[in-house]
Amino acid sequence: MDNFWRAVIILSGFIATAQSLQCRQCSIGVFGACFFGNDISCDIATASCFRGEAQFNATGSLSLHIRGCLDSDLCGKTLTGSLLGAGYTTSFQCCTTDLCNGAASVQLPLMAILCAAILSSLWGTWEL
């Protein structure tokens, strides 16, 4: 009987792992590009993948993008708040199929190119 319960526990673990939703996780993204993203397995409490956008009122057009797993109760909601005195608005869009919330991340070489482009554009505007 002991072997029976061991088999049930192991089988339950495989089923739970197979049922996990796979989502794209991105801690920070700018201009629609995700920097340093990866794929994750959601737990039972977070049954949806999401794409989120945070817009700071002071910056106007600059938005930060995040992706990951989310509790379904927050799907489709828009939240407002304040961080260090700056107001922001955050919205969440959800989906429920594997990797439905985004494409692959942009890795370090593109980040280096972007930084170089910004620095070179600033270099030309400085006067000595």
Q: Where are the domains of the chain?
A: 22-125
Highest mean pLDDT pick, 1-15, 78-92, 98-112: 78-92
- At 27, the amino acid letter reads S
Closest CA to 105 of 71, 75, 66: 66
Q: Distance (Å, rounded) from C-alpha 88 to C-alpha 37?
A: 23
Question: What is the phi/psi pair of residue 36, to 5°?
Answer: 60, 45
In the block, tokens 């106007």 appear at 60
Q: Reply yes or no on whether the pLDDT at 128 is more than 80.
A: no
15: tokens are 């089923």
CATH superfamily, domain at 22-125: CD59 (2.10.60.10)
Does the model's pTM come out above 0.75? no
In this predicted model, what pLDDT tens digit does every residue of 60-89 receive, in sequence order? 667 888 999 998 888 999 999 987 888 889
- Site of tokens 């030309």: 124
